[in-house]
Structure 1
Amino acid sequence: MTEIIWMTAAELSSAYAKGTLSPVEACRAVLARIDAVDPVINAFCHRDDARVLADAAQSEQRWARGEARSALDGVPVSIKELMWFKGWPTRYGSLTTTDEPNPDDDPTVYHMRRAGRVSRARQPRPNSAIPASPIPR
């Protein structure tokens, strides 16, 4: 079997359906990989591991009951810091913006959640998402 962190969404979904892998196992593997590499590459600016694992556990229960919301239910995903994510701040890669949590989800995030996708972390953007600035805050 392919190492979990390298599995495609289709492979994860198939494994969930067969019961050979759970969303909790997949999310734990992804979080462990982030722990291993993020101190070097600085690819994530916000994490909520408890929320990730709680969402993954709910997804696991849905798969066990045969009630997955979609083929993507329980598949881990990261959200760029340009999209609103309810309860998390969106800083747009800038230190001049507020740390206030967003009151709602961006439409893309909303539909991913409805499909059961599990957001594991936020990825930073260059200041104000201007590509000429390669260094995230």
Structure 2
Amino acid sequence: MEQFDQNTPLFAISVAAELAVMHPQTLRDYDRIGLVVPARTGGQTRRYTMRNVAQLREIARLSNEGVSLEGIRRILELENQNAELNQRVRDLEQALANELMNRPGARVFAAGEQGVESLARGRRPAKQNSVVLWRAR
């Protein structure tokens, strides 16, 4: 079964235009100038993602606030770059966590006088020869 996410090209131009509350010609213009570039099918039909629709809505909002198309292009470029870097950080964090968890003998713990202690690899806990008396209060 195929998984869908925000980057899965699903919507034809008419549906994307309706979701973004725009005219389809506006979407064609944005594609032509490189503002929002949808995926293409084998027959060169545009297919928009949920992320594209969100970008189109953001373009409409920024445009209504008086931001030029060039300013909007730069904002979207920086947002895309930020999203890619955030994803890269998440991927690297996951890879590091997997590496640390899968490393044999990387983390060893023992109970000690101070509670649970982390031991260096290859080191055994010191033997305790003391007797501890405990009395309920």
- For normalisation by structure 1, the TM-score amounts to 0.25
Give the number of the structure whose residues are more often helix, by fraction. Answer: 2
Q: Normalised by the size of structure 2, how large is the TM-score? A: 0.25
- Structure number with the bigger relative contact order (C-alpha 8 A, sep ≥ 6) is 1
Which structure is larger by alpha-carbon Rg, 1 or 2?
2
